Chains A and B, each alone.
Chain A
Protein backbone atom coordinates (compact mmCIF):
# COMPACT_ATOMS: atom_id res chain seq x y z
CA UNK A 1 0.00 0.00 0.00
CA UNK A 2 1.32 3.43 -0.94
CA UNK A 3 1.75 5.91 1.88
CA UNK A 4 -0.44 8.42 0.08
CA UNK A 5 -3.24 7.60 -2.33
CA UNK A 6 -4.85 10.24 -4.48
CA UNK A 7 -7.81 9.99 -6.83
CA UNK A 8 -6.14 9.95 -10.24
CA UNK A 9 -8.83 11.75 -12.23
CA UNK A 10 -8.95 13.22 -14.71
CA UNK A 11 -11.77 15.36 -13.46
CA UNK A 12 -13.77 17.55 -15.81
CA UNK A 13 -16.29 20.05 -14.44
CA UNK A 14 -18.24 23.05 -15.77
CA UNK A 15 -17.23 26.55 -14.74
CA UNK A 16 -18.76 27.50 -11.41
CA UNK A 17 -18.90 23.96 -10.04
CA UNK A 18 -17.64 22.94 -6.63
CA UNK A 19 -14.67 20.63 -6.94
CA UNK A 20 -13.65 18.07 -4.35
CA UNK A 21 -10.15 16.58 -4.44
CA UNK A 22 -9.08 13.90 -2.00
CA UNK A 23 -6.14 11.96 -0.60
CA UNK A 24 -5.86 9.20 1.93
CA UNK A 25 -2.76 8.26 3.85
CA UNK A 26 -1.72 5.22 5.80
CA UNK A 27 0.56 6.40 8.61
CA UNK A 28 -1.05 8.23 11.51
CA UNK A 29 2.33 9.77 12.38
CA UNK A 30 1.98 12.29 9.58
CA UNK A 31 1.51 15.74 11.05
CA UNK A 32 1.22 18.30 8.31
CA UNK A 33 -0.63 18.39 5.05
CA UNK A 34 -0.25 20.48 1.94
CA UNK A 35 -2.01 21.00 -1.35
CA UNK A 36 -0.09 22.14 -4.39
CA UNK A 37 -1.24 23.18 -7.83
CA UNK A 38 0.88 22.40 -10.86
CA UNK A 39 0.25 23.92 -14.26
CA UNK A 40 1.59 22.17 -17.33
CA UNK A 41 5.36 22.62 -17.72
CA UNK A 42 5.62 24.51 -14.43
CA UNK A 43 6.76 23.65 -10.93
CA UNK A 44 4.22 23.02 -8.17
CA UNK A 45 3.00 26.02 -6.17
CA UNK A 46 1.67 25.85 -2.64
CA UNK A 47 -2.08 26.41 -2.21
CA UNK A 48 -2.76 25.35 1.36
CA UNK A 49 -0.81 24.18 4.40
CA UNK A 50 -2.47 22.70 7.46
CA UNK A 51 -1.13 21.22 10.65
CA UNK A 52 -4.26 20.02 12.39
CA UNK A 53 -7.60 18.39 11.86
CA UNK A 54 -10.43 20.62 10.73
CA UNK A 55 -10.99 23.12 7.97
CA UNK A 56 -8.83 25.94 6.68
CA UNK A 57 -10.20 28.42 4.21
CA UNK A 58 -8.40 30.75 1.81
CA UNK A 59 -10.58 32.50 -0.70
CA UNK A 60 -12.28 29.93 -2.92
CA UNK A 61 -10.15 27.11 -1.47
CA UNK A 62 -10.88 25.05 1.63
CA UNK A 63 -8.58 22.36 2.96
CA UNK A 64 -10.04 19.74 5.24
CA UNK A 65 -8.12 17.25 7.36
CA UNK A 66 -9.61 14.29 9.18
CA UNK A 67 -6.76 12.66 11.08
CA UNK A 68 -8.97 9.96 12.55
CA UNK A 69 -9.87 8.74 9.06
CA UNK A 70 -6.48 9.67 7.56
CA UNK A 71 -8.28 11.61 4.87
CA UNK A 72 -7.59 15.04 3.45
CA UNK A 73 -9.61 17.07 0.98
CA UNK A 74 -9.35 20.24 -1.03
CA UNK A 75 -12.54 22.01 -2.08
CA UNK A 76 -12.62 24.62 -4.79
CA UNK A 77 -15.71 26.81 -4.91
CA UNK A 78 -16.90 28.67 -8.01
CA UNK A 79 -14.28 26.90 -10.11
CA UNK A 80 -12.74 28.87 -12.98
CA UNK A 81 -11.02 27.76 -16.19
CA UNK A 82 -7.80 29.11 -14.68
CA UNK A 83 -8.11 26.40 -12.01
CA UNK A 84 -7.41 23.78 -14.70
CA UNK A 85 -4.22 22.12 -13.49
CA UNK A 86 -2.94 19.09 -11.64
CA UNK A 87 -3.50 19.16 -7.89
CA UNK A 88 -1.05 17.36 -5.66
CA UNK A 89 -1.40 16.50 -2.01
CA UNK A 90 1.74 16.23 0.10
CA UNK A 91 2.12 15.07 3.68
CA UNK A 92 4.97 15.05 6.13
CA UNK A 93 6.15 14.65 9.69
CA UNK A 94 8.93 15.97 11.83
CA UNK A 95 10.78 19.21 11.45
CA UNK A 96 11.89 18.67 7.87
CA UNK A 97 10.39 18.64 4.42
CA UNK A 98 10.67 14.97 3.52
CA UNK A 99 7.24 15.19 1.98
CA UNK A 100 5.37 12.21 0.60
CA UNK A 101 3.41 13.21 -2.48
CA UNK A 102 0.26 11.94 -4.11
CA UNK A 103 0.40 11.27 -7.83
CA UNK A 104 -1.90 14.19 -8.53
CA UNK A 105 -5.40 14.72 -9.88
CA UNK A 106 -5.78 16.42 -13.23
CA UNK A 107 -8.63 18.93 -13.24
CA UNK A 108 -10.21 20.59 -16.26
CA UNK A 109 -12.73 23.38 -15.72
CA UNK A 110 -14.74 23.97 -18.86
CA UNK A 111 -16.10 27.43 -19.71
Chain B
Protein backbone atom coordinates (compact mmCIF):
# COMPACT_ATOMS: atom_id res chain seq x y z
CA UNK B 1 0.00 0.00 0.00
CA UNK B 2 1.56 3.29 -1.17
CA UNK B 3 -0.42 5.45 1.25
CA UNK B 4 -2.08 7.38 -1.60
CA UNK B 5 -5.84 6.88 -1.69
CA UNK B 6 -7.94 7.36 -4.78
CA UNK B 7 -11.70 7.21 -4.95
CA UNK B 8 -13.70 5.85 -6.57
CA UNK B 9 -11.86 2.78 -7.89
CA UNK B 10 -14.24 2.37 -10.81
CA UNK B 11 -16.57 4.78 -12.51
CA UNK B 12 -18.91 4.21 -15.42
CA UNK B 13 -20.65 7.22 -16.90
CA UNK B 14 -22.24 8.42 -20.10
CA UNK B 15 -20.84 10.75 -22.74
CA UNK B 16 -21.42 14.40 -21.96
CA UNK B 17 -21.42 13.88 -18.22
CA UNK B 18 -19.10 15.32 -15.58
CA UNK B 19 -17.21 13.36 -12.92
CA UNK B 20 -14.88 14.16 -10.03
CA UNK B 21 -11.97 11.96 -9.04
CA UNK B 22 -10.53 12.34 -5.59
CA UNK B 23 -7.02 11.81 -4.27
CA UNK B 24 -5.70 11.83 -0.71
CA UNK B 25 -1.91 12.05 -0.68
CA UNK B 26 0.41 10.32 1.76
CA UNK B 27 0.67 12.01 5.13
CA UNK B 28 3.27 14.78 4.90
CA UNK B 29 3.36 14.94 1.10
CA UNK B 30 2.83 18.43 -0.27
CA UNK B 31 2.86 17.68 -3.98
CA UNK B 32 0.16 15.90 -5.95
CA UNK B 33 0.27 14.77 -9.57
CA UNK B 34 -2.42 13.51 -11.91
CA UNK B 35 -1.79 11.12 -14.79
CA UNK B 36 -3.94 9.51 -17.45
CA UNK B 37 -3.03 6.00 -18.64
CA UNK B 38 -4.49 4.50 -21.78
CA UNK B 39 -3.36 1.50 -23.82
CA UNK B 40 -2.46 3.47 -26.92
CA UNK B 41 -0.82 6.52 -25.32
CA UNK B 42 0.60 5.12 -22.12
CA UNK B 43 0.99 7.36 -19.10
CA UNK B 44 0.43 11.04 -19.75
CA UNK B 45 1.25 13.70 -17.20
CA UNK B 46 -1.74 15.98 -16.66
CA UNK B 47 -0.98 18.42 -13.87
CA UNK B 48 1.01 18.92 -10.67
CA UNK B 49 0.12 20.86 -7.53
CA UNK B 50 2.41 21.81 -4.70
CA UNK B 51 0.95 22.97 -1.40
CA UNK B 52 -2.22 24.22 -3.07
CA UNK B 53 -0.59 25.95 -6.03
CA UNK B 54 -0.40 24.70 -9.59
CA UNK B 55 3.24 23.81 -10.28
CA UNK B 56 3.35 22.27 -13.72
CA UNK B 57 0.89 21.52 -16.48
CA UNK B 58 1.05 18.78 -19.08
CA UNK B 59 -1.34 17.63 -21.75
CA UNK B 60 -4.47 18.41 -19.80
CA UNK B 61 -7.55 19.13 -21.88
CA UNK B 62 -9.56 22.30 -21.30
CA UNK B 63 -12.51 20.11 -20.33
CA UNK B 64 -10.45 18.86 -17.39
CA UNK B 65 -9.59 20.85 -14.29
CA UNK B 66 -8.00 20.11 -10.97
CA UNK B 67 -7.33 21.68 -7.64
CA UNK B 68 -5.55 20.96 -4.40
CA UNK B 69 -7.34 21.93 -1.22
CA UNK B 70 -5.90 23.33 2.04
CA UNK B 71 -5.94 19.85 3.59
CA UNK B 72 -3.80 18.82 0.56
CA UNK B 73 -6.27 16.42 -0.97
CA UNK B 74 -6.85 16.94 -4.66
CA UNK B 75 -9.70 16.55 -7.09
CA UNK B 76 -9.65 16.09 -10.85
CA UNK B 77 -12.81 17.22 -12.62
CA UNK B 78 -13.59 15.82 -16.04
CA UNK B 79 -16.48 17.37 -17.95
CA UNK B 80 -18.26 16.91 -21.28
CA UNK B 81 -16.91 13.39 -21.25
CA UNK B 82 -16.13 11.63 -24.49
CA UNK B 83 -15.57 7.95 -25.25
CA UNK B 84 -11.86 8.67 -25.66
CA UNK B 85 -11.62 9.82 -22.05
CA UNK B 86 -11.99 6.23 -20.92
CA UNK B 87 -8.73 5.43 -19.16
CA UNK B 88 -7.04 4.81 -15.85
CA UNK B 89 -6.44 8.01 -13.92
CA UNK B 90 -3.64 7.93 -11.40
CA UNK B 91 -2.78 10.31 -8.64
CA UNK B 92 0.69 10.37 -7.13
CA UNK B 93 2.17 12.34 -4.27
CA UNK B 94 5.62 13.30 -3.04
CA UNK B 95 7.11 15.30 -0.21
CA UNK B 96 8.64 17.92 -2.47
CA UNK B 97 7.88 18.90 -6.04
CA UNK B 98 11.25 18.29 -7.65
CA UNK B 99 12.17 15.12 -9.51
CA UNK B 100 14.51 13.81 -6.81
CA UNK B 101 11.58 13.46 -4.45
CA UNK B 102 10.09 10.01 -4.98
CA UNK B 103 6.47 10.00 -6.02
CA UNK B 104 4.11 7.30 -4.78
CA UNK B 105 1.13 6.31 -6.91
CA UNK B 106 -2.36 5.43 -5.87
CA UNK B 107 -4.16 2.43 -7.31
CA UNK B 108 -5.99 4.53 -9.85
CA UNK B 109 -9.56 5.22 -10.88
CA UNK B 110 -10.75 3.31 -13.91
CA UNK B 111 -13.11 5.54 -15.85
CA UNK B 112 -15.35 4.05 -18.50
CA UNK B 113 -17.37 6.41 -20.66
CA UNK B 114 -20.22 4.73 -22.52
Contacts and interface: CB of A to CB of B under 8 A. Distances in A.
A79 to B, nearest CB: 23
B33 A44 contact: no
Main secondary structure on A side of the interface with B: loop
Contact of A99 (B45, B97, B104): B45
Interface residues of B, number: 27
A96 B56 contact: yes
Given A97-B33, A98-B58, A49 B100 contact: yes
Interface residues of A, number: 22
Contacts of A44: 43, 90, 105
B98 A96 contact: yes
Given A97-B97, A101-B43, A43 B105 contact: yes
Interface in A62-111: 88, 90, 92, 95-104
Contacts, number: 65
Interface string A50-72: 01000000000000000000000
B99 A92 contact: yes
Nearest to A51: B100
A100 B58 CA distance: 10
Contacts of B51: none
B2 A97 contact: no
A43 B45 contact: no
A29 to B, nearest CB: 14
A97 B48 contact: yes
A99 B2 CA distance: 20
Given A42-B105, A90-B43, A96-B99, 7 more contacts: A44-B90, A45-B105, A88-B42, A96-B97, A97-B45, A101-B45, A103-B42
